[in-house]
Amino acid sequence: MSEQDEPTSGFPAQQQTLPGRTDAMDPPPDHGEHSYRGCGRLEGIRALITGGDSGIGRAVAIAFAREGADVALSYLPEEQGDAEETASWVRETGRTAALCPGDLTEQHTCEEVAGKAVQELGGLDVLINNAGVQMARDDGLEDMSVERIDRVLKTNLYALLWLTQAVLPHLHKGSSIINVSSIQAYQPSTSLLDYAATKAGINNLTVNLAAELGPKGIRVNAVAPGPIWTPLQPATQRPEKLESFGTDTPLGRAGQPAEVAPAFVYLASPREAGYVSGTVVGVTGGKPVF
């Protein structure tokens, strides 16, 4: 990388509302569109990626397709534009992209999304529980609304369990589940306390799901990203916070979605990660995940 290409430290102050849109971000994130090169690591694999429309999920979809996988993308109905953009990158590789919109905070939607993914892909080998939401908080604990707590816990924890239950009958020996944790599980911010608790819970669930599903030959792991430039950030952080976003990491900058996707490729690959289960891979710019 030349000095000129070095990523800048922070980002211009900007604000969006949830769920956030890729085309409103300045600068646009890098999902590996022009850099990721596959080499057949996931040939023939069928993966459901929740939150696959944007950010980390989009980068994973592009990497998986270029490695030979077909993907189903789950996302909120208002994210149709982002989902279609991701699908077009997948289809450009000649792989299938199935679109499965729906709000995962409802159990019946999780079941419908799982059913559509299985039907359109002709089965399922990998579930990536990537959908997630956070909301930065200025108010005191006593002002945290039930709606907010419900949204964070249902999106990050309930949906993970409901989707896992829904896809389980379709998974098989060699399948895997990859959950998305966070540096917040290890270094929690008070302003994100409910979100941080869900991510610690996801690490804990990853260990127990690996123990429970191991005898079926199903591996369960998690990826814990550090600060990554995705629509979630301008949609949930105070605008001025983005100006220093990521600068407190040892590498001194935020990561791009494209820099997180290879960890998912590794964990999904039965050949390369066949004996890896119950673990968390950190992609944090140097912050510890232990």
Question: Measured in whole angstroms, how far is the alpha carbon of residue 182 from the centre of its chain?
Answer: 10
Pick one of 62, 128, 131, 281: the residue that binds ligand NAD (CB under 6 A).
Answer: 131
Q: Which does 131 bind (CB under 5 to 8 A by kind): Mg ion, ligand NAD, none?
A: ligand NAD
- Taking the C-alpha atoms of residue 114 and residue 28, their distance in angstroms, rounded to an integer, is 30
Closest CA to 14 of 241, 252, 226: 241
Q: Is 195 a residue of the active site?
A: yes
Q: Is the peptide bond before 28 cis (omega within 30 degrees of 0)?
A: no
Q: Among residues 75, 195, 266, 275, which one is catalytic?
A: 195
Runs of H (alpha helix) within the chain: 55-66, 80-92, 107-121, 146-153, 159-167, 193-213, 232-236, 257-268
- Among positions 57-76, residues that touch ligand NAD (CB under 6 A) are 57, 75-76
- Shortest Cβ distance from residue 60 to ligand NAD (Å)? 9
What are φ and ψ of residue 220, in 5° steps?
-130, 125
Q: Which does 56 bind (CB under 5 to 8 A by kind): Mg ion, ligand NAD, none?
A: ligand NAD
Q: Do 181 and 157 meet the contact criterion of CB atoms below 8 Å apart?
A: no
Given Mg ion, ligand NAD, none, residue 104, with its beta carbon under 5 to 8 Å by kind, binds ligand NAD
Residue with Cβ nearer Mg ion (54 or 256): 54
Q: How far apart are the first and last CA of the chain?
A: 30
Is residue 132 a contact residue for ligand NAD (CB under 6 A)? yes
SS3 sequence, 116-129? HHHHHHCCCCEEEE
Is residue 54 close enough to count as binding ligand NAD by CB under 6 A? Answer: yes
Verify binding: residue 55, ligand NAD, rule CB under 6 A: yes
- Other CB atoms within a 10 A radius of the CB of residue 1 amount to 6
The answer to whether 56 contacts ligand NAD (rule: CB under 6 A) is: yes
- If the CB atoms of residues 174 and 187 are measured against ligand NAD, the closer one turns out to be 187
Residues that bind Mg ion (CB under 5 A): 53-54, 79
Q: How far is the CB of 215 from ligand NAD (least distance, A)?
A: 28
The yes or no reply on residue 103 touching ligand NAD (CB under 6 A) is yes
Please list the active-site residues: 195
